[in-house]
């Protein structure tokens, strides 16, 4: 039976304008799409779902830099992420369920490493005045993982370093 591969990408991979921005940050870092990933999807015939950007929809830009623990303390942010995670999991579930023939396979959810919200294996926390990175999921990715599992969906999560998108291309090649 045919199976069509689809990736669920963190919002800013396709629309960098929602990434954290403050005065002084070069605007070029927040412009456009991550073309290497789009090229890969086009080359391999992979569909793309764009996940919501929890930080931008809650705080907009400019926004202060925050670590995961700081976002968890921000009133309302946890609930905001939970709602988005449930909606996204529901959308992915319907996509798979309704695709009886040909079938759709969600190859992976792709988060953004070093993000307090969308990190998969690397997220920042604050210890006193110091920021450091730990091996943990960000706020939204962790909730999305839970929401998917609750629906019986066990999908691999991969984190991309937006400074090295070619690493994701290699990881996806390995999944196919």
Q: Which of 14, 18, 108, 145 binds ligand SF4 (CB under 6 A)?
A: 18
Phi and psi at 114, nearest 5°, equal 75, 5
- Regarding beta strands 130-134 and 123-127, do their DSSP bridges make them parallel or antiparallel, or are they unpaired? antiparallel
Residue among 115 and 142 whose Cβ is closer to ligand SF4: 115
- Choose the stretch contacting ligand SF4; rule: CB under 6 A; options: 90-98, 111-119, 121-129, 165-173: 111-119
Residue among 38 and 99 whose Cβ is closer to ligand SF4: 38
Burial class (CB in 10 A: 0-12, 13-18, 19+), 85: buried
Site for ligand SF4 in 56-85 (CB under 6 A): 56
Answer yes or no whether residue 117 interacts with ligand SF4 by CB under 6 A: yes
* 46: CB partners within 8 A, 6+ apart: 5, 6, 7, 40, 107, 172
Name the residue among 56, 13, 10, 16 with its Cα closest to residue 32.
16
Answer yes or no whether residue 124 interacts with ligand SF4 by CB under 6 A: no
Binding site for ligand SF4 (CB under 6 A): 10-12, 18-19, 53-56, 112, 115, 117-118
């Amino acid at each position: 039976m045919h199976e069509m591969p689809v990736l669920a990408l963190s919002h800013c991979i396709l629309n960098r304008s929602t990434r954290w921005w403050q005065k002084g940050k070069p605007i070029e870092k927040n412009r456009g799409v991550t073309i290497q990933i789009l090229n890969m999807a086009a080359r391999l015939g992979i569909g793309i779902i764009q996940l919501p950007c929890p930080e931008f929809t809650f705080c907009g830009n400019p926004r202060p830099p925050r670590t995961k623990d700081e976002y968890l303390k921000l009133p309302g942010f946890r609930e905001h992420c939970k709602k988005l995670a449930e909606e996204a999991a529901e959308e992915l579930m319907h996509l798979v369920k309704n695709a009886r023939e040909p079938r759709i396979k969600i190859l992976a959810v792709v988060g953004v490493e070093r993000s307090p919200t969308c990190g998969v294996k690397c997220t920042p926390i604050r210890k006193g005045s110091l920021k450091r990175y730990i091996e943990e999921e960000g706020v939204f990715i962790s909730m999305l993982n839970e929401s998917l599992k609750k629906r019986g969906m066990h999908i691999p999560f991969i984190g991309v370093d937006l400074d090295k998108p070619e690493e994701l291309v290699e990881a996806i090649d390995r999944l196919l």
